Structure 1
Amino acid sequence: MMRWLLNSGLRRFARQKGYDTTYMQEVTDAWPGAGLRYLFLPALTRLTGPAPDIWAGAILASVLDGDCGSCAQLVCDDAVAMGVDPGRLAACLRRDFEAAGAVGLGYLFAEAAIEGAADADALRDEIIRQHGPRAAIAAAYAAASGRVYPVLKRGLGHGAACRRIRLGGEDHPVVRSDA
């Protein structure tokens, strides 16, 4: 019964979001208790705080660090639905962080936190100065948790490299930091 309920919910999510939940359904079929754990992940990944733009940049950087095209598209779609400007998300994809504004600040913070870079503290301090401590906490959660789905997918044999993200009816290539 638990398998059926979980898979029913996953199929509904797939239809609503245009997202392939095959990997989640396979886990649920093999181990319903592990499939049930998916229900708890949004508590981490969707902690947006008071500044959705900061969260959107941080979660996007984290998802892209996991290198998952469908996860990055889902994050962008959710951010736009929350009111984040798609142009600012697109600016992050091309690494134009000045044009990305607060979305770019969140993105740069997440990259620095993931890499253990020296400027992570300064970027966190800037987030706190502009948006308060809750925004910095949300960005830290996003930086840490955004990689969960891509890494799970890759570990389960369903990972996909991110090439383009659709925003505002246009495809945008993802520019990597080492490019």
Structure 2
Amino acid sequence: MLKTILERMFSKQEKLTGESADYARDLYRAAPGGFWRFAFFTPMANYRRVLPKEAYAVAKIAAAHSEDCGPCLQTTVNLATAAGVHPQFIRAAVTGDMTSMDEQTATAFMFARAVCAHDFASEELRPKLIKWWGEAGIAELSLAICSSRLFPTLKRGMGYGVACQHVVVGQETLQVSAANAQAT
């Protein structure tokens, strides 16, 4: 019975993200206790209350891209699309085109990139973000950034997501690489 429930869970994840959940299946098979701890982590990965969906999405894309230019980046794009984020913002985040974002969204994107790169620029951006969204907004951005980095790291460690790929935004296929994840 548990296997049936888990398979439904994995299939639901695949339908939602548009990507394989084989890494989760393998994690469960290899380390069931570790899988369940990971499963209880995932609700934190979707926590958003005060941030606009665009700022939240571009921060997650920037963070995922800092770790991965393959399936996890595509999953993050797919989830942003499903959340109703305009493709203009998604495309801009994938390509690093901050001129196609409004000031708040671009600042959230730059903050995420800076945090991922251990760049002091994050300290310079934080006061603006606090002014717009308060301490709660910084907390949400921080949760979005760290949670978006966990999935690619886990998948890479398990042998998944080891190569860059094209990312599809709407009907457009974008070439991405690890090199443009931190481009300015």
- Aligning the two structures, in what range does the TM-score lie when normalised by the shorter sequence? 0.7 to 0.9
Tell me the residue number matched to 1:49. Answer: 49
Change (3 A) 1:110 1:170: same
What is the DSSP-based 3-state SS (H/G/I as helix, E as strand, rest coil) of the residue aligned with 2:65? helix
Q: Note the 1:145-160 alignment, pairs <5 A.
A: 145-160=147-162
Amino acid at match of 2:182: S
Tell me the residue number matched to 1:142. Answer: 144
**Coordinate RMSD, CA, aligned:** 2.0
Gaps of 5+ in 1: none
Rounded to whole Å, the distance in 1 between the matches of 2:163 and 2:105 is: 22
Q: Percent same amino acid among aligned pairs?
A: 26
Gaps of 5+ in 2: none
Q: TM-score, normalised by structure 1?
A: 0.88
Tell me the residue number matched to 2:113. Answer: 111
How many residues are aligned here? 179
Structure 1 ranges of 4+ moved more than 6 A:
none
Q: CA deviation at 1:38?
A: 3.1
Q: TM-score, normalised by structure 2?
A: 0.86
Q: For each residue in 1:18-53, what CA deviation from the matched residue of structure 2 results, as whole angstroms up to 9, or x when unmatched?
A: 211111101112222222223222222112232222
What is the DSSP-based 3-state SS (H/G/I as helix, E as strand, rest coil) of the residue aligned with 1:104? helix
Query: Does 1:170 find its partner at 2:175?
Result: no
Change (3 A) 1:163 1:104: farther
Q: For each residue in 1:43-84, what CA deviation from the matched residue of structure 2 results, as whole angstroms up to 9, or x when unmatched?
A: 221122322222111111111111142211121121122222
